[in-house]
């Protein structure tokens, strides 16, 4: 499956309509981005049930800024509209494959409970 181009215009709808999205924040002038691109594309071909998306940080500066992207490439994984992974740096193929496997195995109910707990703890300490 080919990668999908994310823009500020289709971002929210894409994340709402897809349960599992991997996002590569990149730029055409970025050497590590060029190295990571074929790895990301191959993973896309090997995982046709997942959406692999790319954000060109040059043409989508507002979107990149909204996620505080400081370094590229940055890989983000979103499941059930929740960011479960966000890290700069190009991953080798085996590391990306392992990350996808771990993200697939995550119990999203447990993730939501942990987020709620952290938010409640944050509110309690702010009072």
103 catalytically annotated: no
* Catalytic, out of 30, 43, 51, 90: 30
Q: Does a cis peptide bond (omega within 30 degrees of 0) precede residue 113?
A: no
Distance in Å from the first CA to the final CA of the chain: 49
- Could you confirm whether 30 is annotated as catalytic? yes
The answer to whether the beta carbons of residues 15 and 78 sit under 8 Å apart is yes
Catalytic residue (one of 33, 50, 69, 78): 33
- Asked if 5 contacts 56 with a C-beta cutoff of 8 angstroms, the reply is yes
- Give the total residue count for the chain: 127
* Rounded distance between C-alpha atoms, residue 20 and residue 79, angstroms: 5
Q: Where are the beta strands (DSSP E) in 32-99?
A: 51-56, 74-79, 82-88
Active-site annotation, residues: 30, 33
């Amino acid at each position: 499956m080919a990668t999908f181009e994310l823009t500020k215009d289709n971002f929210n709808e894409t994340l709402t309509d897809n349960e599992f999205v991997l996002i590569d924040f990149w730029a055409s002038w970025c050497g590590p981005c060029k190295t990571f691109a074929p790895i990301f594309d191959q993973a896309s071909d090997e995982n046709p049930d997942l959406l692999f998306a790319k954000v060109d940080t040059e043409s989508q500066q507002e979107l990149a800024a909204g996620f505080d992207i400081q370094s590229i490439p940055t890989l983000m994984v979103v499941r059930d509209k929740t960011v479960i992974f966000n890290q700069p740096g190009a991953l080798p193929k085996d590391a990306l494959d392992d990350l996808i496997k771990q993200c697939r195995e995550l119990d999203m109910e447990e993730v939501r409970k942990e987020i709620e707990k952290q938010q409640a703890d944050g509110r309690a300490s702010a009072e």
